[in-house]
Amino acid sequence: MFTYILRRLLLIFPTLLGIMAITFAVIQFVPGGPVERMVSLMSQNQAGGGEVSSGGGAGYRAAKGLDAQQIEQLKQLYGFDKPAYQRFIHMVGNFLTFEFGESYYHHKSVTALVMEKLPVSISLGIWTFLLTYLISIPLGIRKAVNHGSRFDAATSILVLAGYSIPGFVLGILLLVLFGGGSFWDIFPLRGLVSDNWETLSWPARIGDYLWHMVLPITASVVGSFAVMTMLTKNSFLEEISKQYVITARAKGLSERQVLYGHVFRNALIPLVTGFPSAFVGAFFSGSLLIETIFSLDGLGLLGYDSVINRDYPVVMATLYFFTLLGLISKLLTDITYVLVDPRISFENET
């Protein structure tokens, strides 16, 4: 097991480097980079408008009012005066020490910018994770025990109906119904907290926060129920049909003892082993559309704005961070497999 873990750790760096290299190479061919954007803004300020296009020996052509020296200064400001391979090596060196530089668009540290948006994504992700597991697992177990019953059929219809509705569509529907649209004004429309949150007592702050989270969390969670619920049900059904369950029943054990004393641990292996990836992903899987609909300024909106505004330091830094966490979570998933089921071994893996 130690050899397998060491090998996986050693593979993290080349995998991460390859992903970063491919993304960096793609960025080089995307039109309208930060230099073009700034040239356009300066041209509009000096000449009252104009268009900017790339081309020519200098690589940029100003619309009006900018000479080659000004464009060269802009290239130096953003580091585009150096060859691409030098910029990539410099970026990798900084990323290894978790130095992500400064945002081109927001003009602040990328680390500070991510930390500023992180609470929103944590709020969405962690509540979605907890509610999905806390509701789907008991529901899946009951569906397995009552397989073929009216309860099983009715809940399957409800769960699959929720899965078929996109989260952003459900979010809009919830806002129209309960957010002061055409029907009831019950829940707030936007933000994590109210404007007067700082003046409230701690119990009132907690209540205000939870009240703001009801609609976005509902829109995020409903679509996640189906996969987890059906996975739990099918896993329990498979275990219930095995010989050791028949033997346990023949010994006179009650259904509760059979279910929770024998079936439970084996049936939960596929679910428990997915905890690390799901838990890590919960912090950074906030939906862009959900954040937009409910005016939640999280990492989803930050990533979208960074791509639109060609804010390359933010794009590359968030990609690096999320990829690194994803690779580590995959390793933790494999380790969890061994801890939950000792029959699994990676010692013979090549």
Residues with Cβ within 8 Å of 252's Cβ and at least 6 positions away in sequence, in order, are: none
Mean pLDDT lowest among 25-39, 197-211, 223-237? 25-39
The pLDDT of residue 174 is above 50: yes
The pLDDT of residue 316 is above 80: yes
Mind listing the domains of the chain with CATH numbers?
A: 2-79 (no CATH), 110-340 (1.10.3720.10)
Under 8 Å between Cβ of 184 and 200: no
Per DSSP, the three-state class of 172 is helix
> Mean pLDDT of all residues in the chain?
79
Span 206-210, average pLDDT: 88
Give the tokens for residue 74.
Answer: 């802009």
Confidence of residue 306 (pLDDT cuts 50, 70, 90): confident
Give the tokens for residue 288.
Answer: 């862009």
39: nearest Cα among 24, 28, 54, 22: 54
Under 8 Å between Cβ of 51 and 61: no
114: nearest Cα among 292, 289, 319, 294: 319
- Rounded CA gap, 170 and 176, in Å? 10
What per-residue confidence (pLDDT) applies to 151?
Answer: 92
Say what angle helices 84-96 and 312-340 make with each other, to 10 degrees.
50
Confidence of residue 342 (pLDDT cuts 50, 70, 90): low
Task: Choose the most confident range, by mean pLDDT, from 72-81, 288-297, 313-322.
Answer: 313-322
The pLDDT of residue 131 is above 80: yes
What per-residue confidence (pLDDT) applies to 47?
Answer: 52
- Rounded CA gap, 342 and 113, in Å? 43
The pLDDT of residue 24 is above 60: yes
Span 63-85, average pLDDT: 70
Q: Which residue has the tokens 């990798």?
A: 92
By residue count, the chain amounts to 350
231-234: Cβ within 8 A, 24+ apart: 231/140, 231/270, 231/271, 232/136, 232/137, 232/139, 232/140, 232/141, 232/143, 232/144, 232/267, 232/271, 233/140, 233/141, 233/143, 233/144, 233/147, 234/144
